[in-house]
């Protein structure tokens, strides 16, 4: 199978390429991205998902497209870039696929389409995105729904991952693990809010599962590694893996938000991007649980438990000596 990956030079895409290469399935792989790949530059071509002629040409000969290209950080400016890439890039890809008679797509969406503080939403729950990333991903999914109405012979698979963590990633989960492991962790609230998370090794394994097994119709899957941990349990697990006592001080929510607004003002005055903001405090304190029943009802078996994924990440980042300094930023 000839698989065209778009936007696979980043964290998840790099692991997905590794997963597919190591599977001994004789996949033909190529990656189209704005940036070169740290590990798979031999199969990477520079290209822009927003440029029709570029994608028309570079996906020729493909049997399946995996679309990862997205603007996803909290601080993208101007905000129109979310829609130019996340919606416009999808529209370009669909037209290119049609021109090249490619009828299989795996699209990376997000649980951000549900909004925050929702009650364990499943794939059919109401959509209420609260930021431009979530709104743009939901707009993209609506494009796909309309497209499939007139292209019923296509196979479209959508994965909505929760927050993804793993080795080499530099995002919110890494920042949290770093603060906990360094003993600089300040718990805002009681620590009873649960967080759905997904280990990158399981995400890419499930994408391969979809490519090999979900080859008909229009399918949408939340992806979460269960069971969810609350913040107190997460701190305890980090302490166990690192074999160190980790004290945590609890601060009331209102005080944490006040501090977040203070950092917002500081970022505005200094024109600098800071690691703390009111949005991040709000997201940190929210219960973000998502239903994963649909995936659990398939024959897919994740290669790692959530605890194993956390342990692998902690050991790689904080216990074992590094042989390089390659990392991937995401927030």
pLDDT at 122: 98
Architecture of the structural domain at 2-167+195-226+290-304: 3-Layer(aba) Sandwich (3.40)
pLDDT at 94: 98
The token duo for 66 is 């995996």
The 10s digit of each residue's pLDDT in 231-283 is: 899 989 999 999 888 777 788 888 989 999 999 999 999 988 877 788 878 87
pLDDT at 15: 98
- Residue 183, number of CB atoms within 10 A of its CB: 11
CA distances from 107 to 17, 69, 121, 184 (A): 15, 9, 20, 38
Task: Decide: 211 and 280 in contact? Cβ < 8 Å.
Answer: no
Question: Where in the chain are the domains?
Answer: 2-167+195-226+290-304
- Residue 238, number of CB atoms within 10 A of its CB: 21
pLDDT at 331: 60
Cα–Cα dist 218/138, whole Å: 16
Q: Which residues of 162-181 are buried (b: 16+ CB within 10 A; e: fewer)?
A: bbbbbbbbebbbbebbebbb
Q: Is 162 helix (H, G, I), strand (E, B) or coil?
A: coil
The low-confidence residues of the chain, meaning pLDDT below 50, are none
CA distances from 284 to 170, 229, 260, 303, 313 (A): 16, 13, 11, 27, 20
pLDDT at 139: 98
Residues marked as catalytic: 133
CA angle 64, 59, 1 (to 5 degrees): 35
Whether the link from the prior residue into 250 is cis, omega within 30° of 0, is no
Cα–Cα dist 164/203, whole Å: 8
């Amino acid at each position: 199978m000839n698989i065209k990956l778009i936007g696979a030079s980043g964290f998840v895409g790099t692991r997905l390429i590794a997963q597919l290469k190591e599977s001994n399935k004789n996949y033909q792989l190529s990656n189209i991205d704005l940036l070169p790949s740290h590990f798979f530059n031999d199969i990477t071509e520079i290209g822009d998902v927003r440029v029709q002629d570029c994608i028309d040409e570079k996906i020729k000969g493909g049997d399946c497209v995996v679309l990862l290209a997205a603007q996803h950080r909290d601080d993208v400016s101007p905000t129109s870039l979310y829609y130019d890439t996340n919606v416009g890039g999808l529209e370009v890809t669909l037209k290119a696929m049609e021109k090249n008679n490619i009828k299989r797509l795996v699209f990376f969406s997000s649980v951000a389409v549900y909004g925050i503080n929702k009650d364990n939403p499943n794939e059919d729950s109401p959509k209420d995105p609260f930021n431009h990333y979530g709104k743009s991903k939901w707009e993209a999914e609506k494009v796909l729904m309309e497209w499939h109405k007139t292209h019923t012979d296509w196979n479209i698979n959508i994965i909505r991952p929760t927050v993804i963590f793993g080795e080499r990633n530099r995002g919110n989960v890494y920042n949290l693990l770093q603060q906990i492991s360094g003993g600089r962790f300040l718990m805002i609230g009681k620590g009873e809010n649960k967080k759905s998370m997904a280990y990158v090794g399981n995400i890419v394994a499930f994408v391969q599962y979809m490519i090999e097994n979900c080859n008909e119709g229009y399918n949408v899957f939340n992806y979460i590694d269960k069971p969810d941990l609350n913040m107190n349990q997460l701190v305890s697990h980090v302490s166990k893996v690192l074999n160190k006592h980790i004290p945590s001080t609890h601060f009331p929510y209102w005080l944490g938000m006040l501090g977040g607004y203070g950092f917002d003002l500081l970022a505005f005055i200094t024109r600098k991007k800071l690691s703390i903001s009111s949005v991040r405090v709000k997201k940190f304190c929210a219960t973000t649980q998502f239903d994963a029943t649909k995936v659990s009802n398939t024959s897919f078996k994740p290669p790692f438990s959530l605890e194993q994924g956390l342990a692998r990440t902690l050991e790689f980042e904080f216990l074992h000596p590094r042989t390089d300094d390659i990392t991937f930023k995401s927030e």
